[in-house]
Amino acid sequence: MPRGRLAVTLMSSAIAPVKPSSTTGPKEVELILVKEQNGVQFTSSTLVSPSGQTHPSGEERETWGKKIDFLLSVIGFAVDLANVWRFPYLCYKNGGGAFLVPYLFFMVIAGMPLFYMELALGQYNREGAAGVWKICPIFKGVGFTVILISLYVGFYYNVIIAWALFYLFSSFTSELPWIHCNNTWNSPNCSDLNDTLLNDTHKATPALEYFERGVLHLHESTGIDDLGLPRWQLTACLAVVIVVLYFSLWKGVKTSGKVVWITATMPYVVLTVLLLRGVTLPGAMDGIKAYLSVDFLRLCDAQVWIEAATQICFSLGVGFGVLIAFSSYNKFSNNCYRDAIITSSINSLTSFFSGFVIFSFLGYMSQKHNVALDKVATDGPGLVFIIYPEAIATLPGSSVWAVIFFIMLLTLGIDSAMGGMESVITGLIDEFKCLHKHRELFTLFIVVSTFLISLICVTNGGIYVFTLLDHFAAGTSILFGVLIEAIGIAWFYGVDRFSDDIEEMIGQRPGLYWRLCWKFVSPCFLLFMVVISFATFNPPKYGSYYFPTWATMVGWCLSISSMIMVPLYAIYKFCSLPGSFCDKLAYAITPETEHHLVERGEVRQFTLQHWLVV
């Protein structure tokens, strides 16, 4: 029947609860629509539940295809290259097994609470890192801070994956190119692996020269002010990485959720295989013993506690906006509390497990060259692109082991890079709704822009730019971002209100422990870390090269450019609101859904109870 001929004279609706109102958690309601036409009533009813894909506000949003897609995505993002090249070395350097005491302490009081907080924040508000701040509009600037940080990290993190891809291609030979010194890129200082040269600071291993001269061509640059043109081989590898990222992200979580089935699980398979091979090598047990040796006297050193706290801050991936973005695609009633415990625990266990793999090979290298373990133990890119390839090169079937190892590095890097990109894409698409219909084009714009800027890191002197970005892009700025985020949620929005939101989702209110951590412990911990990061700042350097003052200033400008979004947006928001000073402040710190209460003078944040309640 044509719509114009429907003469509806009466339309009413009623909502009747199916479950008693005393029950906790998401409730089903029955929506009854009654229409009267020509004296005849037509009734239809529908069961509506917020437990599916729809927020109580009625807003629909794409969700993960399966729950495991979300868990693998979070694990894949949090478990990255730093789990392999950073944690084991810190554990060895700071008292072995004794290092686990401060590490686990900070994990419990800060790491897990902040991880849980971000998952719950994204899942309830179903928005990216900027959009979630409709709960306290004046803090939206911190959303743009974390989006910018994720973008900056992408400029150099993708380059690490490109290096791994270059090494992977180079491993498909009968003899690995970093075994001997008879290559075109080698210098007179190069000495073959068979020589005991680690005690000689004037000699270089083939693996070191392959990385710095064969891959990076660092010898063709005199410093950061002499970069040169991009190397075509690394540019091609970087382009492959960008293409993989684009086709993993262009359709949203429906595609990325499938990619992580490979990228998040493959590292565990490879780590296990490498461990089984590593423990059979001579000297492996000495390396593992050194890794686990307990020196409780090291706990008296404040630096050990600082490094444990720093590792917690960066290893879980809090503050990049990724956890918020990923959880925003969950079903509303998903148990984010259980997810936080599972994924953060897996991340820490992976770090600990990877230490056995790394130190079994380092122990082998120590014995083979007849030098102390601290001569071969290192962290950072030098571990996975110099020391470990050098160890693999001495094994029978070295090419096969090299292929396996660099496939692991690729998968470790890809899903972490996907997470960072998704944070940027989701954060901006949710903030600027006009981009929703053009996700594929916007994703293409982001990845191509990232590729073009990353080209500066694959020049002859690109490692200097890489080091500068690594030093400043996500250091103090990310600690600052998480601190503002914790203050905004626990103090301005209110830890009691936040707990109500979680109870509405999972039917269980967070315990007193979590509420105390959110309101007091975690903010104090983060404030301490921000102060420490300033107090212990050291200018960046690469090997024996010290960066000029202007380069350090550029790095600080990069760091400040993300942090300054917090005050800039707060000033903009405050000035754009109507009314007197008190009215502006009330609107700025009150959730957007409660602005009608401000008009009636009912502002929770203007009461003492709001600030005292836990």
Residue 202, pLDDT score = 60
3-class DSSP assignment, residue 57? coil
CA distance 559 to 361: 37
A 10 A CB-CB count for 571 gives 12
Beta-bridge mates of residue 48: 29
User: Residue 8 has what pLDDT?
Assistant: 36
What contacts 285, CB < 8 A, 6 or more positions away?
279, 363
Distance between CA 240 and CA 414 in Å, rounded?
Answer: 11
Beta strands in 40-159 (DSSP E): 40-48
Cβ-in-10-Å burial (0-12, 13-18, 19+) of 473 comes to buried
- Predicted pLDDT at 294: 85
Beta partners for residue 14, in sequence order: 32
Q: What does the pLDDT read at residue 376?
A: 83
What's the pLDDT at 375?
80
Tell me what percent of the residues of the chain surpass a pLDDT of 90.
69
Angstrom distance (rounded) from CA 508 to CA 519: 19
| Spatial CA neighbour of 161 closest among 384, 319, 311, 346 | 384
Cβ(78)–Cβ(348) below 8 Å:
no
Query: Which DSSP letter does residue 490 get?
Result: I
Residues 290 and 99: beta-carbon distance below 8 Å:
no
- Model-level pTM? 0.88
30 alpha-carbon distance from chain centroid: 41
Whole-number Å distance between alpha carbons of 436 and 432: 8
From CA 298, how far away is CA 566, in angstroms rounded?
38
**Which portions of the chain are predicted below pLDDT 50?**
1-35, 37-53, 196-197
Residues 6+ apart with CB under 8 A from 490: 498, 518, 519, 522, 523
pLDDT tens, residue by residue, 23-76: 444 444 444 444 454 444 444 444 444 444 455 555 578 899 899 999 999 999
pLDDT at 256: 92
pLDDT of residue 3: 42
Residue pair 253/64 in contact by the 8 Å Cβ criterion: yes
